[in-house]
């Protein structure tokens, strides 16, 4: 309420129309209202990625779920936007700020398969759907002889293809299934040793205009430092590899918990970040998998250094093949 007793207008939050995007945006809206007492109205928008049914690597991938919303944000038609962080281009957006990375949900991939089966229980030739070149490449690299099929559509559409027998299984982000209350349909949570998730998977990005200092400060209250450290390392790696969100690159950073047995002298040491990454050829025949450890304060630098190690090992050739 202003000094004159007039209620501030609701904040307009731009979001995609999918059930998952709306669930994520409602969660952010509720958290923001709880912190500030200010109402938040969702403004449903359509992006190129929603309107074009072609495969992501055909329509460009990077930014297709984000650009349209950013344009409305810059035009002042909405005050803030919520994205799945894995969809966010790594290049900074002029005049916008990543004001908050809320607490990250489980970043791992999950299998939903008919008959409650795991990947290892699916027979050779089983039809497994995914819209992600990263997941497809890593699935082929496992050597199970699966028939990996490209599939687009929202979560309901993909799960329906398992229910009706069109597919034997689909791979989805566990975070999305959790947010939609459909995690009970998961038949296997995939170990990152098998499938490394996309950089930023499971995390949300809350953007606003850089010039809106008051809103930037308000949104900063939703930021989770551990989640931001992790995704900063993962996105630093992706940027240094010059690979977009459709490239066959998996990465996952974990912030180490404080060791209860650590010496008192080490108690004030910055927490450590463990970053692992994999680049896989599209046919799954070649995989480069490396890791690095360092302080969270150097998250972006760790990502860049691990990217350099991957490039030294030949990652550019595998990324180039995917293009």
Please indicate, yes or no, if residue 4 is contained in any of the structural domains: no
**Domain identity same for 252 and 312:** yes
Through-space distance between the first and last CA atoms of the chain, rounded to whole angstroms: 52
Instruction: Residue 251: give the domain boundaries.
Output: 228-322
Please indicate, yes or no, if residue 6 is contained in any of the structural domains: no
**Domain identity same for 270 and 207:** no
Please indicate, yes or no, if residue 197 is contained in any of the structural domains: no
Could you tell me which residues are beta bridge partners of residue 206? 82, 100
pLDDT for the residue numbered 242: 85
What average pLDDT does this structure show over 178-189?
97
Per-residue burial over 193-218, b = 16 or more CB atoms within 10 Å of its CB, e = otherwise: eebbbbbbbbbbbbbbbeebeebbeb
Chain segment 105-143, per-residue pLDDT in tens: 999 999 999 999 999 999 999 999 999 999 999 999 999
**Domain identity same for 217 and 235:** no
| Single pTM value for the model | 0.89
pLDDT for the residue numbered 59: 41
Please indicate, yes or no, if residue 254 is contained in any of the structural domains: yes
What average pLDDT does this structure show over 198-223?
97
Cα(237)–Cα(304) distance, rounded to whole angstroms?
Answer: 5
Catalytic residues, by residue number, are 86-87, 134-135, 152, 158, 245
Number of structural domains (the chain) is 3
**Domain identity same for 216 and 232:** no
**Domain identity same for 208 and 160:** no
**Domain identity same for 49 and 168:** no
**Domain identity same for 236 and 317:** yes
**Domain identity same for 306 and 270:** yes
E strands present in 234-282: 249-255, 272-280
**Domain identity same for 233 and 124:** no
Average pLDDT value over all residues in the chain: 90
Q: Is the pLDDT of residue 268 over 50?
A: yes
Cβ neighbour number for residue 228 with a 10 Å cutoff: 19
Provide the CATH number for the domain around residue 67. Answer: 3.40.190.10
End-of-domain residue from the set 167, 189, 211:
189
Please indicate, yes or no, if residue 134 is contained in any of the structural domains: yes
Cβ neighbour number for residue 139 with a 10 Å cutoff: 26
Provide the CATH number for the domain around residue 301. Answer: 3.30.160.40
**Domain identity same for 97 and 238:** no
End-of-domain residue from the set 134, 166, 189:
189
Q: Which two tokens stand for residue 169?
A: 């299984």
**Domain identity same for 30 and 97:** yes
Contact of 219 with 145, CB cutoff 8 Å = no
Chain segment 9-43, per-residue pLDDT in tens: 899 999 999 999 999 999 999 999 999 999 999 99
**Domain identity same for 80 and 209:** yes
Q: Is the pLDDT of residue 53 over 90?
A: no
């Amino acid at each position: 309420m202003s000094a004159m007793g007039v209620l501030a207008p609701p904040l307009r939050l731009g979001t995609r129309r999918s059930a998952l995007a709306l669930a994520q945006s409602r969660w952010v809206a509720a958290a923001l209202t709880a912190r500030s007492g200010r109402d938040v109205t969702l403004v449903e928008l359509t992006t190129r990625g929603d309107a074009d049914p072609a495969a992501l690597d055909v329509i460009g991938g990077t930014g297709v779920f984000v650009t349209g919303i950013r344009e409305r944000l810059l035009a002042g038609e909405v005050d803030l936007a919520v994205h799945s962080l894995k969809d966010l281009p790594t290049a900074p957006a002029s005049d916008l700020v990543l004001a908050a990375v809320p607490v990250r949900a489980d970043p791992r991939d999950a299998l939903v398969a008919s008959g409650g089966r795991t990947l290892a229980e699916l027979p050779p030739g089983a039809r497994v759907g995914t819209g992600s070149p990263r997941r497809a490449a890593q699935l082929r690299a496992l050597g199970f002889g699966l028939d990996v099929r490209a599939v687009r559509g929202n979560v309901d559409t993909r799960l329906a293809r398992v229910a009706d027998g069109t597919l034997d299984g689909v791979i989805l982000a566990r975070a999305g299934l959790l947010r939609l209350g459909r995690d009970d349909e998961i038949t296997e949570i995939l170990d990152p040793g098998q499938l490394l998730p996309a950089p930023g998977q499971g995390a949300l990005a809350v953007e606003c205009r850089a010039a809106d200092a008051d809103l930037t400060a308000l949104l900063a209250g939703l930021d989770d430092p551990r989640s931001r450290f992790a995704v900063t390392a993962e996105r630093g790696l992706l940027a240094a590899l010059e690979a977009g969100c459709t490239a066959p690159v998996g990465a996952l950073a974990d912030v180490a918990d404080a060791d209860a047995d650590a010496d008192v002298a080490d108690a004030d040491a910055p927490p450590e970040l463990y970053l692992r990454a994999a680049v896989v050829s599209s046919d799954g025949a070649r995989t480069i998998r490396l890791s690095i450890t360092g302080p969270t304060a150097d998250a972006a630098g760790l990502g860049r250094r691990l990217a350099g190690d991957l490039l030294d090992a030949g990652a550019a050739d595998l990324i180039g093949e995917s293009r």
